[in-house]
Structure 1
Amino acid sequence: MLRQIIVTLCWLPLSLLALTGQANSVEPAAVQAGAVPERQGGALFKIQRAGQSAYVFGTIHVGRADFYPFDDKVLQALQHSSSVALEIDPGNTQGLSALMTKYGIYADGKSLAKELPQPLQKQLNPLLEKYDLTPAALANMKPWLLATVLGISEYTYQGYLPQYGVDSTLAAFAKSHDKPLVELETAEQQLSLLGKLTSTEQIQFLQDSIDEIQDPEKARRSMQLITLWRNGDVEGLTTMLAEMTSDDTFTGKFVQRALLVERNPGLAGGIEKLAGTTPHAFVGIGMLHLVGKDSVLAILQQRGYTVTRIY
């Protein structure tokens, strides 16, 4: 689950940090020219059909300062773009916080302490101490929201900050250059996918997340995703996606189906509409949406687009 979350739900990292009181003053990275190594991160594609075109860039939702500046080809595509499109605007933390309260916070007298089985609570306590999370800040969170907090906290613990996520950086670029920022989805669409989980499913979601964090091999593979993104290793990411498909945990199946595959047609439709109405659009979406047989790019190819990898 940790692997998927940093390339599927771009609203989570910054808004979760704000919700738990962990947000700090680090600003999104500046998008500027500079000496960069070959394949600085991600993968850039150009889609074309009947005179329509757009750039599509695979993102990751946490990062470090040394993820930047972007590769020159990405910078050129950004600078010449007429608009920037993302899954959603990650900077809209006020709206996101309200939606998280709606879908992720108990409002009926329930609490985590009342809902969690005692063995799971015992597993949770060391992680709260590890991530410096206060029980009071989490007391009214539903289990699915706590699971995502733990996932993002683990990446933060390893030095990968939401403030340096690629989506946040692209959003900051669009705003600082007066380029329209287009949302391909809504935060409510994404949040409702998690909010509709039953209480039993949410507890299993949390259990699976804790098990992944505490399993050294699973934790290593979670961090491997960042390496693959940094190397622009599309083949490696495709292999990793296939491995995720074989994950038979409840959480693995849910994230694979609901947070990846079932969202891809809608994302592809949004890109298709944008390419047809806005010349030179630049689109940034989670990298795992761009690999595999059911990917956004595969859907666009089925709809008559040619897809060319730029770098």
Structure 2
Amino acid sequence: MLARSILYRRWGRRFAAALSPLLLAACQSQPATEARPAMWLVEDADTHIYMLGTMHALPAGTDWRGGKVAAAIDAADELMLELSPRELAAAGAVFQELAPRSAPLAMSARLPGKALAGYRAIEGDADLGGDELDDWAVLVMMGQRVAQQVELSPADGVEAGLTAAFRKAGKPIGGLESARTQLMLFETLDPATQRALLVRAAENSASAERDVLSMTDAWSRGDANALARVVNEDVDEVPAARKAIITDRNRRWSDWVKARLDKPGTVLMAVGAGHLVGQDSLPAMLAAEGYKVTRVQ
């Protein structure tokens, strides 16, 4: 089942690990660490929406529930994730439907020398089936292999923990997108953009572990500026991907927040940390429109 594969690369392994719960990999564990991720609050007179930046896969035992997060969990009437539990469960089947190419194409025909060598290094003694897959799906398979080395676990990710907590409390859990909508963001990237991402991923594969750990560390410290630098360092060189996967989604989600503010209550909105940092972040968009947005952790 490929529903939880991290799309890693010098660009994507940082970027998508912070953004998409579809793109995770089931791996082993690392020693427990304490994390205090950044969180914002947007509110009006009778509505409070906490916006928590998540990592969808983490070292086993990571303690991210302390500080203000625990209070937000207790206060919230509902949880809003990128994908509801039902949609996340459906993601594997959607991936298997969308990922195959219409006709096989050898990786040696897609990648120049350095990139091909990098791909083979990641592949190792496993057969990733790249010849049969679209370029974006090859990135997912590469991500699985890299994630095995950095030992991240989706079972220890923020979404998994929040889902368990809200289910135990009998509180509703919703989703901003469907599994198909989320994967179609990658499927519908133009071929040149997909190929550029794949080539860059393979060419820079040697630094994969270091980069994803740097992203996890910045998230753990709640260092929004450092996290923004990590996420933006390479994605700015792929404007079509940034627009589709970050900016446009943030606009849609800001519309959801504005509509939800018309209804009283308290919501915990937990989305990939990359959506909450940078100039086109969700908090920045809302603040620019005059909404009261406060960083609370």
Q: What interval of TM-score do these two structures reach, taking the shorter chain for normalisation? A: 0.7 to 0.9
**Residue 116 of structure 1, aligned match among 86, 100, 110:** 110
* Distance change >3 Å, CA 304–CA 51, structure 1 → 2: farther
Aligned length: 282
**Residue 81 of structure 1, aligned match among 73, 76, 79:** 76
Counterpart mapping for 1:1-311 below 5 A: 1=11, 2-13=13-24, 17=25, 23=26, 40-68=35-63, 70-89=65-84, 92-106=87-101, 108-112=102-106, 116-117=110-111, 119=113, 121-129=116-124, 133-136=126-129, 138-214=130-206, 216=207, 220-244=210-234, 247-248=236-237, 252-277=238-263, 279-311=265-297
Q: Secondary structure at the match of 2:79?
A: strand
Within 2, Cα distance between the matches of 1:209 and 1:232? 27
C-alpha deviation, 1:5, in angstroms: 0.9
Within 2, Cα distance between the matches of 1:47 and 1:150? 37
CA deviations 1:90-123 (Å, max 9, x no partner) are 56444212221332223x3435559635745554
CA deviations 1:253-282 (Å, max 9, x no partner) are 344222112211111112222333351111
Structure 1 outlier segments of 4+, above 6 Å: none
Q: Secondary structure at the match of 2:204?
A: helix
C-alpha deviation, 1:219, in angstroms: 5.3
Contact 2:47 2:265 in 1 (8 A): yes
Q: Secondary structure at the match of 1:283?
A: strand
TM-score by length of 2: 0.83
Structure 2: unaligned runs, 5 residues or longer = 1-10
Within 1, Cα distance between the matches of 2:211 and 2:120? 24
* Distance change >3 Å, CA 288–CA 117, structure 1 → 2: closer
1:32 aligns to what?
Answer: none
CA deviations 1:201-234 (Å, max 9, x no partner) are 43322111112222x3x75344211111000112
Within 1, Cα distance between the matches of 2:106 and 2:267? 44
* Distance change >3 Å, CA 301–CA 67, structure 1 → 2: same
In the alignment, residue 110 of structure 1 is paired with which amino acid?
P
Contact 1:112 1:142 in 2 (8 A): no
In the alignment, residue 78 of structure 2 is paired with which amino acid?
S
Structure 1: unaligned runs, 5 residues or longer = 18-22, 27-35
CA RMSD between the two structures = 2.8
* Distance change >3 Å, CA 114–CA 293, structure 1 → 2: closer
In the alignment, residue 160 of structure 1 is paired with which amino acid?
L
Q: Secondary structure at the match of 2:217?
A: helix
Identity %: 21
C-alpha deviation, 1:181, in angstroms: 0.9
Within 2, Cα distance between the matches of 1:164 and 1:236? 23
* Distance change >3 Å, CA 7–CA 255, structure 1 → 2: farther
Contact 1:105 1:142 in 2 (8 A): yes
